[in-house]
Amino acid sequence: MSNTGSNVWFDLMTTDPAGAVRFYTEAIGWKTEQWASPDDGSPYTMWLASSALGGVMELPDAARQMGAPPQWLAYTTVVDLDASVAKAVSLGAQVLAPAMDMPGVGRFASLADPQGAVFAMFTPSTPASEPPADELGQFRWAELNTADYETAWAFYTQLFDWHHRRTIDLGPSGAYLMWHDASLSTKGGMCNAAKLHGLHPHWLHYITVADINAVAARIQAHGGKVLRGPTQVPGGDWVAQCQDPQGAFFALFAHAKP
């Protein structure tokens, strides 16, 4: 599989799926499509930008009882799911949802890394294409906000085909490590933001937008929060960290204007 270590699908696990659909369709501009599981016929709402990019699901009761908040869950490709889950567990991860098959789609499982950030691994039935990151409405960057990014990096590189690109010194905020995958494209970063700000470790996924100020305004108008930004980053691009009305964190990305 050429795209091992790629995030190819994104599920929003939330306490109010209907409310989340209203929010993201108004604020981000996504469309939705209803789908029924070929396994048991259970309903599932998919998000659509230029193409399908993920879905929205009710946060399971078991997860709520464990204190899990609403959150975005990325599915990262691996060649052998069961072997990868076993490897992750041997490295200190916890299985949250055991491996299961979805007919015609693939096999997947969700886990918490040793510091508590939730992620999923996925072996598709047929080769899966990574979403086109530069197309509007698609996810383009994955950022791990954790307590010890060096330990986290050592963990994830034993599971995925990720390679160090560079580490930036952010002064009082610490270091920011960026990585690339087998395509040589830089795909994400990790830092100790969770430790610095007293947050639970989590993955933050960035959505490509055209006008970051307009989208930030819509987020606030529809009950969400803009927690930081819009801020210009080195290179001239713009980012903003946000939270939806149910509490799930997400972020925005916009290219620098020529």
Measured distance CA(210)–CA(137) in Å, rounded: 9
The reply to whether the predicted model has a pTM over 0.75 is yes
CATH 3.10.180.10 given to domain 139-254:
yes
Topology alike, domains 7-124 and 139-254: yes
pLDDT tens per residue across all 258 residues of the chain: 445 899 999 999 999 999 999 999 999 999 999 887 666 666 789 999 988 899 999 888 777 777 778 999 999 999 999 999 999 999 999 999 999 998 888 999 999 999 999 999 999 988 766 777 678 999 999 999 999 999 999 999 999 999 999 999 988 888 999 999 888 788 999 999 888 777 889 999 999 999 999 999 999 999 999 999 999 988 899 999 999 999 999 999 999 876
* Complete edge-to-edge strand list for the sheet that includes strand 52-58: 31-36, 43-48, 52-58, 7-14, 71-77, 118-124, 106-112, 94-102
- Domain range annotation of the chain: 7-124, 139-254
Report the pLDDT value the prediction gives residue 100, as an integer from 0 to 100. 92
Report the pLDDT value the prediction gives residue 72, as an integer from 0 to 100. 97
Report the pLDDT value the prediction gives residue 95, as an integer from 0 to 100. 95
| CATH architecture assignment, domain 7-124 | Roll (3.10)
